[in-house]
Structure 1
């Protein structure tokens, strides 16, 4: 790399770091839209806590435990306050069948859960509220007799079937309908109005449901089975098109989890009381409050005992607060990653398919490759996150180690390579102003959408734009500013023509299958597909994919293809840091922990305050 390019990069980092230091408080830079699932899982504790900073000032997620070390006895009753760290209000779509954003999922997880749980390999077990058996392409599910809705009505097979009927209904306005549902025999005919019922779904009796799938794939037992019932006795008289906006979702949500919703302050907080009739047993706590707190106030809330724990701690604030005396920091590799996406087509809602546009502004593959080579995500992870986020290489994150191809380097930071690719593609500076025109000699302005949230959001967006300017690309924020979380995803999902590229974050489900994110699905916001890509994605869930080595090879080829085509590129993999007040017991983060919410307790009436 030429010395002048290096100097420009260093100046860019100095600029954004100064911006970060000048901001008040602290915060995280992205919110994630995720396919979150119930946190009631099973597994073993096999880590020890040691949150030591390395000599170079960097931390490692490997040094954190998933489990609190406090082993005291919980007092009878007590309350617990949970901070939902967000710089925007939660939307309030409080039902698994309709929600789309992670903040709502955080709210739902306290009062509702999946009927099936999974182990630390992300495979469904028979330890949850329902069990399952497989006979060829047919799965038989049995809901336990003591599993009841919060109003005392039993959770039934009809409720489970009803959830499928609603999601498959043509008037359904959520994002769940996709390949997991079209794999059910008769679902497409039902969805298209050619049948009044779903052939492959049979209610055997009150507690037994049978579902027959067209293809039995490895994904079925690692996340593709829809495990969230919908209370038919409550929703059956509501038109499907009105369900997501109904009071039954927004104001009076119901579940069968360990806590019941008592009060909602829209967008701000939810108060729960314990569900004495919870199927696993009576919860230790009498009350839980979840309230939205800003990333700029999270440290003060923890210090003063305003919250006992938070959804996630802004990693950029950790070094200054690692020794906070009244909390214990837990950590884990997140099932998520941050990425830059390129808008390359449209979503055809009528036909339910991605339609790539060969004339899209970002359609040139070398342009996209160059924009990845132009950014130094490794340094960004170190400077902004002190090693607690790190350079991402492929679209399958290390949270799924069996399928993440650690030998694939992605596209490494290489400014000269980026410039050469742009030259080859015909993006050259025609008028001598230092910025490249498009291959037709016309001005090229790339509109960039990025979310607000925390101190680092603005400087990181500015860094990316500066890095692209260093290779001659003019990139500007859409509307000249960062977007609020809900507005951002509304506009990205709607294929707003004022967005050419965007910085987002996806949570990856327990199943590694990438079809829901990058296949022919509404949540593939890049709107790019190819014949080879779709073929690989189908191979990943084929009969042959029951052979682990075969499935690994398929997903390695998928990761390689996406590094070549770059409809999207990952920027950083993410860690989750969760501080927990030292009065808290029976608390863990992550999947497969074997710690359940009804066990959560406190050893003192009031939170411990920082010294």
Structure 2
């Protein structure tokens, strides 16, 4: 193809950056690349010669003993991001991951879960389940109070359900879990003034009854973030998300209280002396946005004490820094490439497929998945701290991740064959394939900013697709800012055909919130009767049996591989970095190390030697 030769410069740039990844499909092109690469200076190593990091080298807890902690003190914490945080600081309304990072310091769920991702009774409330698994009785502990001293009450949890289910609600939390509460659909449609499945027993006790008993309820499907009724009840529901109670003076019952907010930049927190788990060790925590490109330097200099999300692509260059410690675990997340297949129908409350969408042909989607070498991307950019994804349930959920399913493996010859057989041919000899009708096809690819690796990885994917004859362009010719990216993807921007993003998988493995017919977060807009069937089977009464539910989700993982509305690119570790004076931090779920326990062992940060 002529275009392959004319674009060889950019292919060499990606070759150098990936240090060993070749996206070629014939010996002649390989020889040309090797000949030209002899004249290029490469700082990379082939993935075969690199010493890759092992997750076995890390603990997920750093604890140097409470006897070493000094009284009080202040700690600076990085919100690692290229973008300002949105500032929607309430669990009922938040959207972005950075807002969630802020929220966890001053507010929390009533229930906590252990390593098995099932709610236990060690949190701010306890719960009991009826024999038919439909009714959940939640009792809030007596010493759990809002930051203004008001008790957290059963009516606050009931109010959260009423707000989220209300027709005027503007947030993203109304989904299948909430709709499963008995009487919620009627309330949501405005056909009822209250939710029949919610009953306040006394000031601290509430019963929530669900229409269908599902195993998801005890692993994340039971909404248990109360909303302070005494603060929000006088605010119109349609105005709550933008109100001062959410954006300027948010309240919670967590270990710290919001003292000051610099919008989009920082949040200063002071300790909540009345915290139900016990008074925090630290007097103050300052959360501030720090770019991923400079967070390592901020840690090395002592400007930042703790980065709960440290970029894994920077670990190798900083692993031997004398004043830092690292902890890590397998993340409940994956990066993925998605295909826009339809639109969100707000009136109907569901995703609608568009048979005329540019990416509607499953063969085109499969070819694009086979064309990219995700393992080489992982090895060369993340040194073993990320690895090629196979299915849409990650290994963070070992009971349900199908480790025997290899997914859509890298195979450019197969990608070429699929496109040939589907009728995508280069009919005008310009180096790019036309569609089966002979029309030129240009695919717009949206990817977001995010550290040094974001741009070269996006360019690699574009070049890999070019190597199989597909004309893919970066949307607007540049990476998208985080908030703008999600605004455009969520609103089904007609200029986006393909997008690269990441999902944080819920505590519960149920995929309906990401891929369900009625989920607004199903950004590909893919729907099918088989998808509906399997999602429903995974939530059925039979699915209380672990083996049955695992079989259902194995089948669902295979269906999504065959249909390819999205495909996973990388599974990932998540890593934290901290100054050596910081102790009692953890990463991951079920560690039973809490934020009030974090402390410092020296008055000033330890500096790099």
How far off is 1:480 after superposition? 1.4
Query: Aligned equivalents of 1:271 and 1:332: distance in 2?
Result: 28
Report the counterpart of residue 439 of structure 1 in structure 2: 436
Verify the 8 A CA contact 1:9 1:467 in the aligned structure 2. Answer: no
Report the counterpart of residue 531 of structure 1 in structure 2: 529
How far off is 1:11 after superposition? 7.7
How far off is 1:288 after superposition? 0.5
Cα 1:331–1:535, aligned 2, differ >3 Å: closer, same or farther?
same
Verify the 8 A CA contact 1:374 1:471 in the aligned structure 2. Answer: yes
Corresponding residue to 2:97 among 86, 99, 102:
102
Report the counterpart of residue 134 of structure 2 in structure 1: 137
Query: Aligned equivalents of 2:10 and 2:505: distance in 1?
Result: 32
Note the 1:476-487 alignment, pairs <5 A.
476-487=473-484
Verify the 8 A CA contact 1:59 1:387 in the aligned structure 2. Answer: yes
Structure 1: gaps (5+ residues): 22-52
Query: Aligned equivalents of 1:275 and 1:14: distance in 2?
Result: 55
How far off is 1:283 after superposition? 0.7
Corresponding residue to 2:350 among 347, 350, 353:
353
Verify the 8 A CA contact 2:138 2:207 in the aligned structure 1. Answer: yes
Report the counterpart of residue 457 of structure 1 in structure 2: 454
Q: Secondary structure at the match of 1:468?
A: helix
RMSD, matched Cα: 2.0
Note the 1:330-369 alignment, pairs <5 A.
330-369=327-366
Cα 1:487–1:555, aligned 2, differ >3 Å: closer, same or farther?
same
Note the 1:37-48 alignment, pairs <5 A.
none
How far off is 1:56 after superposition? 3.4
Verify the 8 A CA contact 1:159 1:232 in the aligned structure 2. Answer: yes
Query: Aligned equivalents of 1:499 and 1:587: distance in 2?
Result: 40
Corresponding residue to 1:62 among 52, 56, 67:
56
Query: Aligned equivalents of 1:410 and 1:8: distance in 2?
Result: 33
How far off is 1:382 after superposition? 0.6
Cα 1:6–1:61, aligned 2, differ >3 Å: closer, same or farther?
farther
Find out whether 1:607 has 2:605 as its counterpart: yes
Query: Aligned equivalents of 2:97 and 2:328: distance in 1?
Result: 19
Q: Secondary structure at the match of 1:109?
A: helix
Verify the 8 A CA contact 2:332 2:505 in the aligned structure 1. Answer: yes
Report the counterpart of residue 426 of structure 2 in structure 1: 429
Query: Aligned equivalents of 1:150 and 1:367: distance in 2?
Result: 54
Query: Aligned equivalents of 2:470 and 2:457: distance in 1?
Result: 17
Q: Secondary structure at the match of 1:580?
A: strand
Report the counterpart of residue 40 of structure 1 in structure 2: none
Report the counterpart of residue 154 of structure 1 in structure 2: 151
How far off is 1:387 after superposition? 1.3
Query: Aligned equivalents of 1:446 and 1:54: distance in 2?
Result: 33
Verify the 8 A CA contact 2:4 2:467 in the aligned structure 1. Answer: no
Report the counterpart of residue 79 of structure 1 in structure 2: 74
Corresponding residue to 1:222 among 211, 219, 223:
219
Verify the 8 A CA contact 2:18 2:377 in the aligned structure 1. Answer: no
Report the counterpart of residue 124 of structure 1 in structure 2: 119
Provide TM-score, normalisation by structure 1. 0.92
Note the 1:45-444 alignment, pairs <5 A.
56-71=50-65, 73-135=68-130, 136-444=133-441
Verify the 8 A CA contact 1:8 1:470 in the aligned structure 2. Answer: no
Report the counterpart of residue 541 of structure 1 in structure 2: 539
Query: Aligned equivalents of 1:289 and 1:267: distance in 2?
Result: 13
Corresponding residue to 2:577 among 576, 579, 587:
579
Verify the 8 A CA contact 1:17 1:459 in the aligned structure 2. Answer: no
Out of 267-276 and 5-14, give the one that drifted further. 5-14
How far off is 1:518 after superposition? 0.7
Cα 1:474–1:245, aligned 2, differ >3 Å: closer, same or farther?
same
Q: Secondary structure at the match of 2:535?
A: helix
Q: Secondary structure at the match of 1:551?
A: helix
Q: Secondary structure at the match of 1:141?
A: strand
Q: In the TM superposition, what whole-angstrom CA distance separates every residue of 1:429-469 from its partner, at most 9, and x where no partner exists?
A: 11011101111111100011100121111111100000000
How far off is 1:70 after superposition? 2.3
Provide TM-score, normalisation by structure 2. 0.92
Cα 1:148–1:20, aligned 2, differ >3 Å: closer, same or farther?
farther
Report the counterpart of residue 508 of structure 2 in structure 1: 511
Report the counterpart of residue 552 of structure 2 in structure 1: 554
Q: Secondary structure at the match of 2:321?
A: coil
Out of 576-585 and 97-106, give the one that drifted further. 576-585
Query: Aligned equivalents of 2:391 and 2:399: distance in 1?
Result: 14
How far off is 1:18 after superposition? 5.2
Q: Secondary structure at the match of 2:108?
A: coil
Query: Aligned equivalents of 2:51 and 2:489: distance in 1?
Result: 37
How far off is 1:99 after superposition? 0.5
Q: Secondary structure at the match of 2:338?
A: strand
How far off is 1:62 after superposition? 2.4
Query: Aligned equivalents of 2:323 and 2:442: distance in 1?
Result: 50
Cα 1:416–1:193, aligned 2, differ >3 Å: closer, same or farther?
same
How many residue pairs were aligned? 578
Query: Aligned equivalents of 2:219 and 2:134: distance in 1?
Result: 16
Q: Which has the higher contact order (CA 8 A, sep 6+)?
A: 1
How far off is 1:8 after superposition? 11
Verify the 8 A CA contact 1:20 1:456 in the aligned structure 2. Answer: no
How far off is 1:424 after superposition? 1.4
Cα 1:6–1:328, aligned 2, differ >3 Å: closer, same or farther?
farther
Cα 1:20–1:84, aligned 2, differ >3 Å: closer, same or farther?
farther
Query: Aligned equivalents of 2:195 and 2:281: distance in 1?
Result: 41
Query: Aligned equivalents of 2:6 and 2:554: distance in 1?
Result: 35
Q: In the TM superposition, what whole-angstrom CA distance separates every residue of 1:250-292 from its partner, at most 9, and x where no partner exists?
A: 0000000000000001111000000011011111111111100
Report the counterpart of residue 35 of structure 1 in structure 2: none
Query: Aligned equivalents of 1:133 and 1:427: distance in 2?
Result: 58
Query: Aligned equivalents of 2:307 and 2:6: distance in 1?
Result: 38
Cα 1:479–1:395, aligned 2, differ >3 Å: closer, same or farther?
same
Verify the 8 A CA contact 1:70 1:583 in the aligned structure 2. Answer: no
How far off is 1:54 after superposition? 11
Q: Secondary structure at the match of 1:170?
A: coil
Query: Aligned equivalents of 1:508 and 1:211: distance in 2?
Result: 24
How far off is 1:55 after superposition? 7.1
How far off is 1:5 after superposition? 13
Verify the 8 A CA contact 2:306 2:582 in the aligned structure 1. Answer: no
Query: Aligned equivalents of 2:491 and 2:270: distance in 1?
Result: 38
